[in-house]
């Protein structure tokens, strides 16, 4: 058994299952809720398989990148990565009259969508490119 295998044999399974989390301030939520500042949104890392599935949404039937699907992919990353307030909350969906978590995410986070997408992407180890698009 090599050194890495020895270390792995001593490791706890829970340490590998733990997801990274972060807090991102949402000015859009703060404004909508009449607060004096932003509201903290709890985000978490998404599995690489889920990220890959979401990114694949941007590829059309011919295997080419489809720019018209970028926003929907961003929203889906937010749906999967925002833990609190969760766009998947049945209570929130019903309260705001939204049919899907994607619709609720767009409704709640408005101008913060790009930032949430970027921060969730960082937790997942992907380059989102949003910051570069804004600079250019």
What is the arithmetic mean of pLDDT over 74-89? Answer: 96
Query: Which of 68-96 are b and which e, b meaning 16 or more Cβ less than 10 Å from the residue's Cβ?
Result: eebeebbbbbbbbbbeebbbeeeebbeee
**pLDDT (tens digit, 9 = 90+) per residue, 109-135?**
999 999 999 999 999 988 766 544 544
What residue segments make up the domains of the chain, in order of their start?
A: 19-128
| Model confidence at 94: pLDDT above 50 | yes
Q: What is the domain class of 19-128 according to CATH?
A: alpha beta
pLDDT in tens, 11-56: 888 888 788 899 999 999 999 999 999 999 999 999 999 999 999 9
The pLDDT, as a whole number, for residue 130 is 52
Whether the predicted model's global pTM rises above the 0.85 cut? no
């Amino acid at each position: 058994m090599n050194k890495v295998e020895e270390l792995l044999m001593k490791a706890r399974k829970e340490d590998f299952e733990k997801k990274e989390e972060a807090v991102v301030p949402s000015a859009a939520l703060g404004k909508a809720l009449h607060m004096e500042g932003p509201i903290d949104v709890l985000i978490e890392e998404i599995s690489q398989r889920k990220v890959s599935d979401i990114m694949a949404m941007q590829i059309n039937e011919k295997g080419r990148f489809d720019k018209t699907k970028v926003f929907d992919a961003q929203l889906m990353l937010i749906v999967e990565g925002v833990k609190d307030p969760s766009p998947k909350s049945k209570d929130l969906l019903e309260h705001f009259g939204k049919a899907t978590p994607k619709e609720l995410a767009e409704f709640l986070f408005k101008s913060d969508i790009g930032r949430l997408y970027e921060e969730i992407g960082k937790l997942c180890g992907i380059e989102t490119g949003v910051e570069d698009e804004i600079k250019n």
